[in-house]
Amino acid sequence: MIAPGTRVRVRDDWPETRGPCHIRTPHYLRGETGTVTRHLGDFPNPEDLAFDRPAPRLPLYHVQFDIRRLWADGTPGADLLVEVFEPWLEVTS
């Protein structure tokens, strides 16, 4: 389990380039660093559900990002909360 306040990096991985897939981690977060704010619960992996495969439950987190770090022309001061599954996160601190 990743504790709230932990700095995490979203994996810079592109399953889209390797064939049919279904991913709920938006492209704009790949390789970006944010902060876990909350464990939202454990949910079946949508990447498996989409292919009707047995889907293990995975921890799901709310991760906070600074919009200006994602886009230089983003709204100043605004931040972004996104639900991300644990296998997509690497603890950096």
Partner 1 sequence: MTEAADKDVPRAMHDMGGVSRYMCEPIDKEPHELTDFDREVDAIRQILGMKGVMSVDELRRGIEALPEADYLRLSYYERWLQAITATLLRKGVIAEAELQAVLGAAP
Partner 2 sequence: MTLLETDSGRLLAALRGLLAEKGITDRAEIAERIAVTDAATPERGAAMVAKAWVDPGFRALMLADGAQAAESLGIPMRGMPPLGVLENTPDLHHLVVCTLCSCYPRAVLGYPPFWFKSTSYRARAVRDPEGVLAEWGTVLPASATIRVVDSTADYRWMVLPMRPEGTDGWSEERLAALVREGDMIGVTVPQLA
List the one residue from 4, 26, 40, 83 that touches partner 1 (CB under 8 A): 26
Is residue 17 a contact residue for partner 1 (CB under 8 A)? yes
Rounded to a whole number of angstroms, the minimum distance from the CB of residue 11 to partner 1 is 13
Q: How far is CA 89 from CA 5, 28, 66, 75, 86, in A?
A: 14, 14, 17, 25, 5
The item of partner 1, partner 2, none sharing an interface with residue 2, based on CB under 5 to 8 Å by kind, is none
Q: With binding defined as CB under 8 A, does residue 78 bind partner 1?
A: no
Applying CB under 8 A, the residues found at the interface with partner 2 are 24-26, 28, 40-41, 43, 46, 60, 67, 70-71, 73-75, 77-85
Q: Which of residues 33-72 bind partner 1 (CB under 8 A)?
A: 46, 49-52, 70-72
